[in-house]
Amino acid sequence: MTDPTELYRFEVDIEPSMLTPGPMIVALDGFIDAGGAQRILVDHLLEASEARVVASFDVDSLLDYRGRRPVIVFEATHYRSYDDPALLLYRLTDREGQPYYLLTGPEPDYRWEAVVMAITDLMRRLGITLAVQTHGIPMAVPHTRPVGMTAHATDERLIGDRKPVFGTVQIPASLSALLELRLGEAGFDALGYAIHVPHYLAGSAFHDGALTGLNAIVDATGLNLPNDALVQAAGENRVEIEREIQQNPEIAEAVAGLERQYDVHLRGIEKPSLLAQESDKLPSADELGAEFEDFLRTVDEGDA
């Protein structure tokens, strides 16, 4: 069996036993991240806080360099610099001094189970009991409505009363998904949020997606994470999106159609059927009649 400590090493000036436990955010590049929701969030946290590298992984044994070649800079007559990939575990603190960890870098191409064992070993050594992740997925939703999300966790208590969006489906796996599964099997708490990014913005920067992910992480961990710069960037991003959409009538009409679809769906959730009641008791004939009249009145008002 692989020794999990073979895949990572602590920095020379780090004594693991002296580090304070805290939650860990997992943000690995390479899987779906519509709107750059995960990437924007990671950049924001690293810029807004004093980040210290705690441990690094042996990426030479984990990455397919020819599958996604790193960038090297050539200048006139020589190679000047190389953007070497790195999978790092950072230690940061929130606005109240509470420590937390951020695992970020390229998603490994090889040895997923071994990497999961290594991350789990790191969590045990540092006393990390909660892992949380977030990324963007493209959805047929308008940017003018509240940003939704799909929550998933090793235990339903971690996501509260959030309603599922999907039933049972088969999807391409990611190392982050496998990590959550294996952590649950090992008795750790882990959860994640797939942020619903408007599909027409999937290839652009969508800061509201990152802000939604940040707020979800705050709710899950209790951390007081910095958000000022991200809030400002999201506001500026909304203005830019509106300006570009207004300049393209076809996209504007498509967004209007998504708004109508979204509102109809929302009304369906709030009032799924004529039989929907607050209690499990079956309604009486008079109650059914009154409900039906209310329904007809709603239809008439909508037609008007």
Could you read off the pLDDT of 50-85 as tens digits, one per residue?
999 999 999 999 999 999 899 999 999 999 999 999
Examine the domain organization and report whether 210 and 69 are in the same domain. yes
Domain region containing 286: 274-304
**Residue 58, Cβ neighbours under 10 Å: how many?**
16
291 lies in some domain: yes
pLDDT of 217 higher than 80: yes
| Side-by-side strand order, sheet with 88-93 | 8-10, 52-57, 88-93, 99-106, 24-29, 130-139, 189-198, 149-153
Examine the domain organization and report whether 174 and 288 are in the same domain. no
Examine the domain organization and report whether 93 and 219 are in the same domain. yes
Single pTM value for the model: 0.84
Examine the domain organization and report whether 283 and 231 are in the same domain. no
**Residue 123, Cβ neighbours under 10 Å: how many?**
22
264 lies in some domain: no
179 lies in some domain: yes
74 lies in some domain: yes
Examine the domain organization and report whether 25 and 166 are in the same domain. yes
Q: Is 135 helix (H, G, I), strand (E, B) or coil?
A: strand
What is the rounded average pLDDT for all residues in the chain?
88
pLDDT of 274 higher than 50: no
Examine the domain organization and report whether 278 and 237 are in the same domain. no
Confidence of residue 1 (pLDDT cuts 50, 70, 90): low
Domain boundary residue, one of 227, 242, 257: 242
* CB-based contacts of 273, cutoff 8 Å, min separation 6: none
267 lies in some domain: no
Comparison of pLDDT for 262 and 121, the residue scoring more: 121
Examine the domain organization and report whether 291 and 187 are in the same domain. no
Tell me how many domains the chain contains.
2
Examine the domain organization and report whether 78 and 162 are in the same domain. yes
Examine the domain organization and report whether 151 and 297 are in the same domain. no
Examine the domain organization and report whether 185 and 283 are in the same domain. no
